[in-house]
């Protein structure tokens, strides 16, 4: 079990460019979550999929952020027209999906927008 | 939704003493409360959790208390060691949902 795999580990983009972050959940886990971590805000919920279906995207900045889960083996988070305030560590987590199951986090993607 | 407040944001203790972190939540329907430890450059890892049918849980030097009436839960680390220095997050999940809402974290510094 390789755990939750996130790629790339680090990404540097210029302001206005697009960034795509990848997440491969643990095989058999039905729930996939995306969080953003900054020193000021801590762990902010972005969006959540269950059985590949989008369930809750209430934490997503509406205009430039989008997430997809085209199959059970990966999810992507896309940020269009990146801004310096998007700089953060983006964490993906997966869960078996039962009511009281905990998360397994990936190692995160550290995004720096310059 | 849920909101979780976590205090203190920074906690400095001497090796061998105990450390306590407190969290409060708003949604009385929340029924699962995990604690995560995050070391520098690493991802958060679950260290202990408690469900709403319990008031206390203990494992390997960690104690979690849950007061549902006050909507408060806490982590107590006994006999702290320098290796306990890390960021700690509390979280809450409501009964109808799989999403965890996290507190903003506590940096624990254990000095020798």
Tens place of pLDDT per residue across chain A (114 aa): 689 999 999 999 999 999 999 999 999 999 999 999 999 899 999 999 999 999 999 999 989 999 999 999 999 999 999 999 999 999 999 998 776 678 899 999 999 999
User: How many other C-beta atoms can be found within 10 angstroms of the C-beta atom of residue B5?
Assistant: 13
Which 29-68 residues of chain A touch chain B by CB within 8 A?
Answer: 31, 33, 35, 41-43, 45, 48, 50, 55-56, 58
Query: Taking a C-beta distance cutoff of 8 angstroms, is the pair A27, A89 a contact?
Result: no
pLDDT at B71: 97
Burial of B68 (0-12, 13-18, 19+ CB in 10 A): middle
Judged by CB atoms closer than 8 Å, whether chains meet at B44 and A100 is answered as no
pLDDT at A111: 98
For the segment B52-100, what is each residue's pLDDT rounded down to a tens digit?
A: 999 999 999 999 999 999 999 999 999 999 999 999 999 999 766 678 9
Of A42, A48, A102, the CB nearest to B99: A48
A40 contact partners, CB below 8 Å, separation of at least 6:
none
Residue A99: both structure tokens together:
């009511």
For the segment A50-63, what is each residue's pLDDT rounded down to a tens digit?
A: 999 999 999 999 89
């Amino acid at each position: 079990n390789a755990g939750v795999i996130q790629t790339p580990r680090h990404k540097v983009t210029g302001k206005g460019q697009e960034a795509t972050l990848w997440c491969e959940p643990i095989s058999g886990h039905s729930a996939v979550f995306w969080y953003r971590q900054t020193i000021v805000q801590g762990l902010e919920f972005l969006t959540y999929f269950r059985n590949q279906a989008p369930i809750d995207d209430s934490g997503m900045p509406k205009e430039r952020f989008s997430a997809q889960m085209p199959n059970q083996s990966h999810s992507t988070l896309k940020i269009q027209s990146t801004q310096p305030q998007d700089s953060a560590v983006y964490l993906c987590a997966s869960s078996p999906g039962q009511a009281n199951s905990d998360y397994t986090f990936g190692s995160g993607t550290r995004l720096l927008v310059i | 939704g849920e909101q979780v407040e976590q205090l203190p944001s920074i906690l400095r203790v001497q090796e061998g003493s105990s450390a306590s972190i407190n969290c409060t939540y708003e949604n009385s329907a929340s029924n699962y409360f995990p604690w995560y430890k995050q070391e520098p450059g690493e991802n958060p890892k679950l260290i202990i959790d408690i469900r709403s049918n319990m008031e206390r849980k203990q494992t390997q030097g960690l104690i979690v208390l849950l007061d549902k009436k006050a909507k408060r839960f806490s982590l107590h680390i006994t006999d702290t060691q320098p290796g306990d220095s890390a960021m700690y997050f509390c979280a809450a999940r409501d009964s109808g949902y799989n999403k965890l809402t996290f507190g903003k974290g506590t940096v624990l510094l254990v000095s020798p």
